[in-house]
Amino acid sequence: MPEPIRLKDHEKDARQVRARAVVGAVAIALLSLVLMARLYYLQVIQYEQHSTLAENNRIHVQPIPPNRGLIFDRNGVILADNRPSFSLTVTRERAGDWQKVLDTIVRVLELGPEERTLFERRVRQGRRPFEPVPVLFELSEEQIARIAVNQFLLPGVEVAAQLVRHYPQSEHFAHSVGYVGRINERELKKLDPVAYSGTHHIGKTGVELFYEDLLHGQVGYEEVETNARGRVLRVLKHTDPVPGKDLTLSLDLSLQKAAEAALGDRRGAVIAIDPTSGEVLAMISQPSYNPNLFVTGISGKDYAALRDSIDRPLYNRVLRGIYPPGSTIKPVVALAGLDSGVVERSTRIFDPGFFQLPNVEHKYRNWNRGGDGWVNMEAAISRSNDTYFYSLAHRLGIDRLHRYLSHFGIGQRVSLDMFEEAEGLMPSREWKRIKRRQAWYPGETLITGIGQGYMLATPLQLAQATALLANKGKWHRPRLLMKADGLSPEQLMASGLLEARPAPPDIQLKDPHNWDLISSDMQQVVHGARGTAHKVGATARYRIAGKSGTAQVVAIRQGEKYDRNKLQERHRDHALFVAFAPAENPRIAVAVMVENGESGSGIAAPVAKQVMDAWLLDEKGRLKAQFAVPPQEPANAQ
Amino acid sequence: MHNNFNNFDRTLSDEDVLRRRATLLQRLHIDGPLLLLLLLLAAGSLFVLYSASGRNLDLVIKQASSFGFGMLAMLLIAQVEARFIARWVPLAYVLGVVLLGVVEVMGHNAMGATRWINIPGVIRFQPSEFLKIIMPATIAWYLARNNLPPGLKHTAVSLALVGVPFVLILRQPDLGTAMLILASGAFVLFVAGLPWLWIGSAVAAVVPVAVGMWYFVLHDYQKQRIHTFLDPESDPLGTGWNIIQSKAAIGSGGVFGKGWLLGTQSHLDFLPESHTDFIIAVLAEEFGLVGVCLLLLVYLLLIARGMVITVQAQTLFGKLWAGGLTMTFFVYVFVNIGMVSGLLPVVGVPLPFISYGGTSLVTLLSGFGVLMSIHTHRKWIAQV
């Protein structure tokens, strides 16, 4: 190219470059200002926010779960304690491919696909990031060793020591103490996440559930500095947890065992109450189950076996079992008759073997088809005469029956601290109108008078009604808890630690002497020559006031005769017996229900007597000194 | 100053100026201001790195020796006259592209990306780093042969020259480096006086191109990065973690910082890649806004010196190359700080001279060696 052009171009190029360099410099300056503005925004304007974030990153508050309170029986025998146990935990965030890690665990410990599914469910349920989730509990020495050897294959997997609930009495108290289990997702939503941080178990049934708040205690904290992988570098602050309260229950291990022995291998329920205080001394629902199975998660197979068993071991017969109370209700009906004045003590009724309402064909039959002839109240109770009570119920009417029986706790929750308790049913005109949209028929009053028909009660309610008869109408709600760290349930309620549940009003009779009359009639059931349970009375070392009953399982049609051979074993009547003793100074009230036992006096009464013997008699077979009858009492009682 | 260009003869024959050439630095072809600033950066960077690496002295010593090696490379390059280099630029470009092709076919795979040529025991070499220097040189060489501003044909050829290595590097995949290569070529075109209309059109075309790239070019992890950039909180434990934590680190530093070695975010491992791409967050956490601004000041002084060198270069090739290198250097700074502070998506661009990594150090110092060469081999130096 020609020289002049090149020179000219050179100058032009230089100008061009210089102009662009200036533009570039300006752009660079502007973009630098953008960067500085951004940093100013982050470091000055948003300083507080990011500072907090960084601080929160650094400092983690680690919960220290409190030790769960222990549970004792009334003599200080441990019913529930906490045992150190090794569990296997998985931290999902540290495990990398955690599905693979779970596979490795299953392989190393030689477990099956069922456990694998369980592990996966538990890991998925993990709550906060970097929180170790226990997947397998109660590791054996060998399992711990296997994990240790294969640790390099198992990132995020650790063997952790923790306290796990243990029930040394196993199935003896499963239906009263209940059990704890892993917190499930539904419970998680309801729980205070702070109070339960670090806690993996919660009461599921029984005392463990009802007194969860007392047993759980207060969570402690540790402020720790952690790095991004959750590793604790140092502890900055430490607050100790407050362990849960120890509970002493009124249950008595030896009485419990005696009652179980008395039931033998029959299915049924026994409940014994101290009528003077409402303390439950024994509570048996048989068959039972091992609550320890549930603590660390029951296997599907074991659970299915319990759930599907025809004997229904998981079913709490004392609290959930509702049965027609049958003849056991008759003393209360008699008392209602006396107190309301519809019958006199001396009123007699002729029993031809049935009762008929005026102008109605239907015959309401006595259990004794031949009839008992003329019966008064004492004979009616001791012989359990149905005709007398049809007549009495007819005179009382359903409204008064409902009122009196309700005072005795039928059809309502009577306990102070039993979560599972069923209400039962005390029918009334109103109930039938609302629930059945039907009028009340007079015939229904009659069968209510002998404890059949719509009426349903739990063994606990029967025991409470009996305790009220023994205690002359003074109400104490049946309770399992005697003391929680030295505080009685009343004190706990007063201090707001327990939801208040005041007892219903005491039953006031117009003539208190009637209490003694009914007690006397009930003693005739056991001690009278023609009493239904006179066989039991023959060997008694003290006076027992009792009443037998049967609860129909299958309704018998009119004109059909109850034929035990025709009925399958499971369709036979349930045997009932209620009693209190010593009759002059009642210290124990018992209700016994033997499933398909048929005969209240023959099957259930001996069980009740054995339970009372175990409580009242010393090893030489004499009445214990503390239960001795005060000298002035017998004169009054008879 | 303007006068000197107009009066060619007088400048050439100025004896005083010729005598000044004899100073020691100039005889060694060293640019004083650049060297001073670089040494300042090197010293500061080792302090920050010591903290960012969790007091790993081995790492600091390795970085210091990389600095030494880089400085040596810089000084060696400065000895070579830019005009001499210009002769070899086309060959170097072809060599670079061939090496990129070799990487494409049989490169060494590290961390999910194929960027290295690895001859075990002999050399581990990243051709894309080589191209960071050669790319602007190539465009500068090509455009300097013709009149400025570049016409349509020259622009198209330039873009093609940039496009080949850009695509090859993008396929490694290394979005960060590919962008830097693209930028270095584009800046040469810009300095050469690419018409504003064309620049505006190119910017307008970015949108459809970006959409096209999203669907056909970008890898999933790159899309994820962009997605995370737009909404870091969408996946706070996953890909958003880096940005949330680095913002927390920067923000919690405040005006004066938490003090050297006292940054909790980096020392407790909340900050990912704290000694490499995210090291500015450590600096911001421990030295605060003041510390970052001081660093920015040093960078801007380096860039200012680069601009002066650009303007004063005596060959068009030298001007264009120097301008491209200087502006690309700012892109490093801007993209890195922008991404760590959450202004830009996360692309793998290290913070010049501060991030740990020998390769990037040597490349950057080589670039400054080129600037020194351009500046110290001038035939007349009246406008210093």
Cα(A32)–Cα(B280) distance, integer angstroms: 15
Token pair of B59 as six digits = 């790492």
Which residue in chain A has the smallest CA separation from B196? A20
- Which of A8, A11, A32 would you mutate first to test chain B, the one with the most B CBs within 10 A? A32
Question: Hunting for tokens 């200080």 — which residue is that?
Answer: A76
DSSP B115-126: EEEEETTTEEE-
Are A278 and A467 a contacting pair, CB within 8 Å? Answer: yes
Q: Which residue from B269, B288, B334 is facing A35, i.e. has the nearest CB?
A: B334
Confidence of residue B1 (pLDDT cuts 50, 70, 90): very low
Nearest to A162 by CA among A122, A199, A188, A131: A199
Which residue in chain A has the smallest CA separation from B280? A39
Which residue in chain B has the smallest CA separation from A29? B300
CATH number at residue A424: 3.40.710.10
B88 within a domain of the structure (yes/no)? yes
A342 shares its domain with A449: yes
Pairs of CB atoms within 8 A across A/B: 151
What is residue A351's three-state secondary structure? strand
Confidence of residue B50 (pLDDT cuts 50, 70, 90): very high
Task: Say which residues have a Cβ less than 8 Å from residue A478's Cβ, sequence separation at least 6.
Answer: A271, A273, A278, A279, A280, A414, A415, A416, A418, A460, A463, A464, A467
**Cβ within 8 Å, pair A21-B311:** yes
Which residues of B are less than 8 Å from A7 in CB distance? 8
Confidence of residue A7 (pLDDT cuts 50, 70, 90): very low
Measured in angstroms, the CA of A59 and the nearest CA of chain B are apart by 10
A167 shares its domain with A244: yes
A193 shares its domain with A261: no
A15 within a domain of the structure (yes/no)? no
A479 shares its domain with A594: yes
A209 shares its domain with A319: no
Measured in angstroms, the CA of B357 and the nearest CA of chain A are apart by 24
B173 within a domain of the structure (yes/no)? yes
B11 within a domain of the structure (yes/no)? no
A189 within a domain of the structure (yes/no)? yes
Please give the pLDDT value at position B235: 58
Whether the per-residue pLDDT at A270 is higher than 60: the answer is: yes
B16 within a domain of the structure (yes/no)? no
**Cβ within 8 Å, pair A21-B338:** no
Which of A116-120, A574-578, B119-123 is the least confident region?
B119-123
A269 shares its domain with A212: no
B27 within a domain of the structure (yes/no)? no
A500 shares its domain with A397: yes
Half-sphere exposure of A215 (CA within 13 A, CB side): 27
Predicted interface score ipTM higher than 0.85: yes
Whether the per-residue pLDDT at A516 is higher than 80: the answer is: yes
Nearest to A408 by CA among A336, A324, A358: A336
Confidence of residue A2 (pLDDT cuts 50, 70, 90): very low
Q: Structurally, how many domains does chain A consist of?
A: 2
Confidence of residue B124 (pLDDT cuts 50, 70, 90): low
**Cβ within 8 Å, pair A53-B341:** no
Angle at A101 between CA A96 and CA A105, to 5 degrees: 155
Which residues of B are less than 8 Å from A16 in CB distance? 148-149, 192-193
A93 within a domain of the structure (yes/no)? yes
Computed over every residue of chain B, the mean pLDDT equals 83
A579-589 core/surface letters (b: 16 or more CB in 10 A; e: else):
bbbbbbbbbbb
Token pair of A270 as six digits = 């026994």
Q: What percent of chain A has pLDDT over 90?
A: 38
Question: Hunting for tokens 């790319």 — which residue is that?
Answer: B135
CATH number at residue A116: 3.90.1310.10
Whether the per-residue pLDDT at A114 is higher than 60: the answer is: yes
A46 within a domain of the structure (yes/no)? no
- How many C-beta atoms lie closer than 10 Å to residue B333's C-beta? 25
**Cβ within 8 Å, pair B265-A49:** no
Maximal CA-CA distance, chain B: 69
Tell me the whole-structure pTM to 2 decimals: 0.63
Confidence of residue B333 (pLDDT cuts 50, 70, 90): very high
B66 within a domain of the structure (yes/no)? yes
Nearest to A467 by CA among A589, A579, A332: A589
Q: Please give the single-letter amino acid code of residue A505.
A: P
Element at A273 (helix H, strand E): strand A268-274
Mean pLDDT of A75-89: 89
B205 within a domain of the structure (yes/no)? yes
A428 within a domain of the structure (yes/no)? yes
Which residue in chain B has the smallest CA separation from A44? B254
A438 shares its domain with A481: yes
**Cβ within 8 Å, pair B334-A10:** no
Burial class (CB in 10 A: 0-12, 13-18, 19+), A71: buried
The domain in which residue B177 lies consists of 37-376
Catalytic pick among A327, A428, A519, A520: A327
Q: Which residue from B148, B303, B310 is facing A28, i.e. has the nearest CB?
A: B303
Which residues of A are less than 8 Å from B300 in CB distance? 28-29, 32
The domain in which residue A377 lies consists of 253-296+314-637
A22 within a domain of the structure (yes/no)? no
| A327 in active site | yes
**Cβ within 8 Å, pair B251-A51:** yes
Mean pLDDT of A103-121: 86
Secondary structure, 3-state, B155-182: HHHHHHHHHHHHHHHHCCCCHHHHHHHH
pLDDT in tens, A454-501: 999 999 999 999 999 999 999 999 999 999 888 888 888 888 888 888
Cα(B3)–Cα(B321) distance, integer angstroms: 25
Measured in angstroms, the CA of A44 and the nearest CA of chain B are apart by 6
**Cβ within 8 Å, pair A40-B289:** yes
A163 shares its domain with A263: no
A622 shares its domain with A485: yes
**Cβ within 8 Å, pair B300-A36:** no
Cα(A597)–Cα(A604) distance, integer angstroms: 7
Q: Structurally, how many domains does chain B consist of?
A: 1
Please give the pLDDT value at position B208: 84
pLDDT in tens, A338-358: 999 899 888 888 888 888 888
Q: Which residue from B250, B300, B323 is facing A43, i.e. has the nearest CB?
A: B250
**Cβ within 8 Å, pair A25-B304:** yes
A540 shares its domain with A406: yes
Q: What share of chain B is helix, strand, coil (3-state, %, to 5)?
A: 70, 5, 25
A16 within a domain of the structure (yes/no)? no
Whether the per-residue pLDDT at B300 is higher than 70: the answer is: yes
Nearest to A577 by CA among A595, A590, A564: A590
B273 within a domain of the structure (yes/no)? yes
- How many C-beta atoms lie closer than 10 Å to residue A409's C-beta? 29
Please give the pLDDT value at position B140: 93
A464 shares its domain with A603: yes
